[in-house]
């Protein structure tokens, strides 16, 4: 079976761990537990071409004070970049993380998720911002770890794209 | 034809021109030409050589093959010419690795020494020492072998950069382990450690220990080989892991380079990984055979002990017979005997009139033992011989003084009761002396104070009970001589009352029985006997005897044939002890004791006793 290492990137408390839990274990908890270091989970995704075993590195959230440990990105075939739809400033961190990722991994695929889509009354992402991302080719996917909205889709999409990529060390 | 002729002519002209140039310019011409040509060619080649090599190298590896021997030779020449320069270049590369290897080896050595020290005390180490001695193995070697116990449970081959598991092998205990996650976590831990401690790329995590398990991590150029070991990571395990890693990196370069996340492509490395699943148990005893030698030794030992025991029993029997024989002899005393390896010695004190006992004693022992009789002949009539014998033989505790005269052994001063008893049982003493006079001696008893008190009480009771007070005919008062007996009796009773101090088990009752002779009527005799008992009772009460203790009973005339009339006119006093004195005392205190009934019961018992005595 083909294995792919993927990394969850994003500011702290955007819901990276919840998305992984929802995807791998189909559970969601309102309790917030911050991730220290990295948590690794595994799930096999069945694609038309082949089965892919995703080794999901859920890396601790980054912000202005806590810089991401780029070593965790090493060898990743792709990333899932997550921002919080209720906190627009997490998008700023996302931009920095994409830069870091590209420095470390080169041109690897990533999917861009705007999470917490279930909290529509707190939603703070406007159309102008969305258009800007779309113009940059980021193609955001609205997800909710709580309801499971688009979670499978996001991981499957990344798995598809990583399959086309080689994981041979650059 | 014309063309051929023209060519021939042209060639001829060229040759002629060449010859002309050589004649005019000579050798300088040739050198000049060569210089011009060479410079131009080298310059041209220099301009394109890098690109040419790069292009050709992309096409195939012939450049590398062609250059390999040249590089080898060049390197060799360079090292021969200037070794230090090579050292200067290589040292920064291999220095850290060497330091790491040396420090790792020292750490392992320290750990081993520590374990050895920990295990070199205690019962187990004693057992191992004995086993090492039995096997003829030096203890250090034996304990090292004993301590090497391990089992490699899992082997992981991990892509160094991605942390993705390329291949793995598990032993039978870990078939269900999730090697993919373990592999990723190992890489993550390694990354975490490097980041946390600002370590360099060369510094990698080498070992993770949790409980009895250790993950030994060996980092290669492209891959990581990790082995999960239960027990002590021995040198053998480490060596094998490193060799396997090197072998895979060397022989499976293409597979490693082409690995694209698909573990199916890595089947070729599985045999090498399986080779790492080594296991070593404790050294077992070579063969569990019955310890016949030990059994034989035990059996021989048991037989020897039995034989010795039997021999000892036999000789003791013979000694007992000999002592019995010696004691049966007149005027011979055994002072002592001694049993040595093959000799029995008897020390005897003999009267000159007694014969030599050696022959009889030798006959008892036969040829097994040599019998030695040390006989001291002494005239047993001589006092000094006796005194010497008695003092040496008995070693009296209280050192009494002794005198001998006409068959009497006088003892003065203090003598222990036990010593006196022994003297009374000494055949030699009793055969020589008819009496042992201790009237001037104080016999000291080694009894306890309580025992001594009981003896005193018992003596006093016996003395009181033995007294009979005799009356004149028809008299109810005692004559002076009997009066004095009564006085002594009252004193004794008072003493007993003092010693009893209310303890009914010592002094429960004073029973006074009055008797009369056969003269007169029965009623008169009954009255007379009652008055006589009352007379004694009144005297006792007057002297201080507790009235509650006294019970009087008129017996009238009791026909006891072997007593004369005077002896029949008597009063007897008996001290009666209650066996359950405390209980009686309690009942009495509660005022519930039926005294008359108790009195009647006491009298009944006493009468039956006296009747028995009378009839006998």
Determine the pLDDT at residue B37.
Answer: 67
The reply to whether A106 touches chain B by the CB within 8 Å rule is no
In chain B, which stretches have pLDDT less than 50? 1-3, 283-288, 580-616
Instruction: Yes or no: say if B225 and B241 are a contact pair by the CB < 8 Å rule.
Output: yes
C-alpha radius of gyration, chain A, whole number: 15
B169, two tokens: 């092998």
The per-residue pLDDT for B615 is 39
Map out the domains of chain B with their CATH numbers.
22-81 (no CATH), 148-280 (3.30.450.70), 299-444 (no CATH), 449-615 (3.30.1330.60)
Provide the β-strand partners of residue B223: B159
- Residue-wise pLDDT tens digits, A24-48: 988 888 777 777 778 899 999 998 8
Determine how β-strand A2-10 pairs with β-strand A51-59: parallel
CB B376 within 8 A of CB B347: yes
Beta pairing class for B150-159 and B165-170: antiparallel
Q: Report CB contact under 8 Å: B191, A69.
A: yes
Which residues, in sequence order, are CB contacts of B497 under 8 Å at separation 6+? B507, B544, B545, B546, B549
**φ, ψ dihedrals at B345, nearest 5°:** -115, 130
- At B121 the pLDDT is 62
Sheet strand arrangement including B332-339: B332-339, B343-350, B370-377
Q: Which of B164, B178, B194 sits opposite A71 (nearest CB)?
A: B194
Q: Which of residues 48-77 of A touch B (CB under 8 A)?
A: 53, 55, 57, 69, 71-72, 74-77
Interface ipTM:
0.80
For residue B186, give the nearest of B129, B243, B227 by alpha carbon: B227
B164/A75 CB distance under 8 A = yes
Say what the pLDDT of residue A125 is: 87
Query: What's the first-to-final CA gap in chain B, in angstroms?
Result: 192
Is the model's pLDDT at A110 over the cut of 90? yes
Contacts of A146 by beta carbon, 8 Å cutoff, 6+ apart: A18, A28, A116, A118
In this prediction, residue B6 carries a pLDDT of: 57
Q: A24: which chain B residues are within 8 Å (Cβ-Cβ)? A: none
**How many Å apart are CA B348 and CA B333, to the nearest integer?**
6
d(CA A16, CA A97): 14
- Residues 6+ positions from A14 with CB-CB distance below 8 Å: A61, A82, A83, A84, A87, A90, A115, A116
State the pLDDT at residue A83.
94
Residues 6+ apart with CB under 8 A from A90: A10, A11, A14, A83, A84
Strand B213-219 with B223-231, pairing: antiparallel
**Residues ≥6 apart with Cβ < 8 Å to B153:** B170, B171, B173, B174, B213, B228, B229, B230, B277
Comparing alpha-carbon positions, the chain A residue that sits nearest to B186 is A40
Inter-chain touch B162–A167, beta carbons under 8 Å: yes
Q: Which residues of B306-338 are buried (b: 16+ CB within 10 A; e: fewer)?
A: eeeeeeeeeeeebbeebeebbeebeebbbeebe
Statement: the pTM of the whole predicted model exceeds 0.90: no
- Classify each residue of B265-300 as buried b or exposed e, where b means 16 or more C-beta atoms within 10 Å of its C-beta: ebeebeebbebbbbebeeeeeeeeeeeeeeeeeeee
Provide the pLDDT for residue B141. Answer: 65
Interface test with A, best of B163, B220, B261, B262 (most A CBs within 10 A): B261
Residue A107 scores a pLDDT above 50: yes
Distance, CA of B314 to CA of B291 (rounded, Å)? 35
**Partners of residue B249 in chain A, C-beta under 8 Å:** none
Please report which residue ranges of B139-288 form alpha helices under DSSP H: 139-147, 179-196, 235-251, 253-258, 270-274
Nearest to B260 among A5, A37, A166 (CB): A166
Q: Which domains does chain A have, with CATH numbers?
A: 2-164 (3.40.50.300)
* B181 contact residues in A (CB cutoff 8 A): 40-42, 55
* pLDDT tens, position by position, B290-338: 667 777 888 999 999 999 888 888 888 888 888 888 877 767 777 788 8
Spatial CA neighbour of B285 closest among B152, B148, B146, B149: B146
Structure tokens at A141: 């996917």
Strands B550-557 and B509-516: parallel
Residues in chain A: 170
Contact (Cβ atoms closer than 8 angstroms) between residue A40 and residue A13:
no
Q: Is B222 on the interface with A (CB under 8 A)?
A: yes
- Residue B609: the pLDDT is 45
Cα gap B563→B613, rounded to integer Å = 12
């Amino acid at each position: 079976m083909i294995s792919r290492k993927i990394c969850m990137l994003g500011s702290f408390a955007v819901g990276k761990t919840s998305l992984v839990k929802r995807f791998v274990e189909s559970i969601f908890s309102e309790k917030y537990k911050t991730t220290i270091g990295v948590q690794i989970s595994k799930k096999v995704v069945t694609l038309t071409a082949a089965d892919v075993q995703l080794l999901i590195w859920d890396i601790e959230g980054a912000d202005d004070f806590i810089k991401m440990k780029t070593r965790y990105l090493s060898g990743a075939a792709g990333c899932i970049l997550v921002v919080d739809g209720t906190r627009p400033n997490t998008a700023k961190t996302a931009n920095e993380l994409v830069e870091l990722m590209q420095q470390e991994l080169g041109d690897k695929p990533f999917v861009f998720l705007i999470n917490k889509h279930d909290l529509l009354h707190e939603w703070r992402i406007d159309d102008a911002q969305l258009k800007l991302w779309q113009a940059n080719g980021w193609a955001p996917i609205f997800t909710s770890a709580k309801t499971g909205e688009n979670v499978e889709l996001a991981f499957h999409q990344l798995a598809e794209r990583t399959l086309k990529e080689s994981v041979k060390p650059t | 034809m014309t063309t051929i002729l023209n060519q021939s002519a042209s060639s001829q002209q060229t040759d002629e021109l060449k010859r002309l140039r050589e004649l005019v310019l000579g050798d300088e011409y040739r050198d000049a030409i060569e210089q011009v040509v060479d410079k131009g060619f080298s310059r041209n080649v220099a301009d394109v050589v890098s690109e040419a090599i790069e292009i050709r190298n992309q096409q195939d590896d012939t450049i590398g093959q062609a250059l390999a021997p040249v590089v080898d030779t060049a390197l060799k020449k360079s090292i021969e010419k200037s070794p230090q320069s090579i050292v200067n270049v290589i040292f920064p590369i291999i220095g850290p690795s060497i330091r790491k290897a040396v420090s790792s080896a020292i750490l392992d050595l320290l750990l081993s020494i520590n374990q050895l020290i920990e295990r070199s005390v205690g019962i187990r180490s004693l057992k191992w020492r004995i086993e090492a001695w039995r096997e003829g193995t030096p203890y250090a070697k034996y304990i090292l072998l004993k301590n090497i116990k391990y089992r490699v449970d899992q082997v992981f081959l991990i892509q160094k950069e991605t942390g993705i598991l390329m291949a793995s092998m598990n032993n039978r205990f870990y078939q269900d382990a999730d090697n993919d996650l373990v592999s990723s976590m190992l890489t993550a831990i390694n990354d975490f450690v490097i980041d946390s401690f600002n370590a360099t790329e060369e510094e990698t995590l080498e070992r993770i220990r949790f409980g009895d398990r250790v993950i030994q991590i060996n980092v290669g150029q492209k891959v990581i080989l990790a082995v999960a070991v239960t027990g002590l990571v021995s040198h053998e395990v480490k060596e094998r892991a490193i060799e396997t890693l090197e072998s895979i990196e060397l022989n499976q370069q293409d597979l490693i380079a082409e690995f694209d996340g698909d573990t199916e492509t890595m089947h070729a490395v599985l045999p090498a990984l399986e080779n790492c699943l080594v296991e070593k148990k404790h050294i077992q005893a070579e063969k569990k055979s019955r310890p016949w030698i030990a059994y034989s030794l035990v059996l021989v030992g048991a037989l020897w002990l039995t034989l010795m025991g039997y021999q000892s029993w036999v000789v003791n029997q013979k000694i007992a017979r000999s002592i019995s024989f010696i004691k049966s002899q007149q005027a011979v005393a055994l002072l002592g005997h001694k049993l040595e390896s093959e000799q029995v010695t008897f020390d005897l004190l003999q009267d000159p009139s007694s014969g030599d006992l050696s022959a009889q004693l030798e006959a008892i022992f036969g040829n097994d033992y040599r019998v030695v009789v040390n006989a001291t002949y002494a005239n047993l009539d001589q006092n000094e011989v006796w005194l010497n014998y008695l003092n040496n033989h008995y070693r009296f505790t209280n050192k009494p003084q002794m005198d001998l005269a006409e068959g009497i052994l006088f003892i003065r001063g203090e003598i222990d009761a036990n010593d006196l008893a022994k003297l009374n049982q000494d055949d030699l003493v009793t055969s020589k002396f008819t009496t042992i006079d201790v009237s001037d001696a104080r016999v000291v008893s080694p009894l306890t104070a309580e025992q001594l008190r009981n003896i005193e009480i018992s003596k006093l009771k016996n003395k009181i009970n033995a007294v009979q007070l005799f009356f004149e005919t028809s008299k109810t008062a005692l004559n002076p001589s009997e009066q004095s007996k009564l006085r002594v009796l009252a004193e004794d009773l008072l003493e007993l009352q003092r010693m009893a101090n209310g303890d009914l088990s010592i002094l429960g009752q004073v029973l006074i029985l009055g008797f009369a002779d056969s003269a007169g009527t029965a009623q008169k005799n009954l009255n007379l006997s009652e008055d006589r008992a009352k007379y004694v009772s009144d005297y006792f009460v007057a002297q201080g005897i507790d009235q509650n203790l006294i019970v009087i009973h008129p017996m009238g005339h009791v026909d006891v044939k072997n007593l004369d009339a005077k002896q029949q006119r008597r009063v007897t006093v008996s001290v009666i002890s209650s066996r359950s004195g405390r209980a009686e005392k309690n009942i009495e205190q509660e005022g519930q004791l039926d005294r008359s009934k108790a009195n009647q019961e006491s009298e009944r018992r006493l009468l039956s006793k006296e009747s028995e005595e009378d009839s006998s």
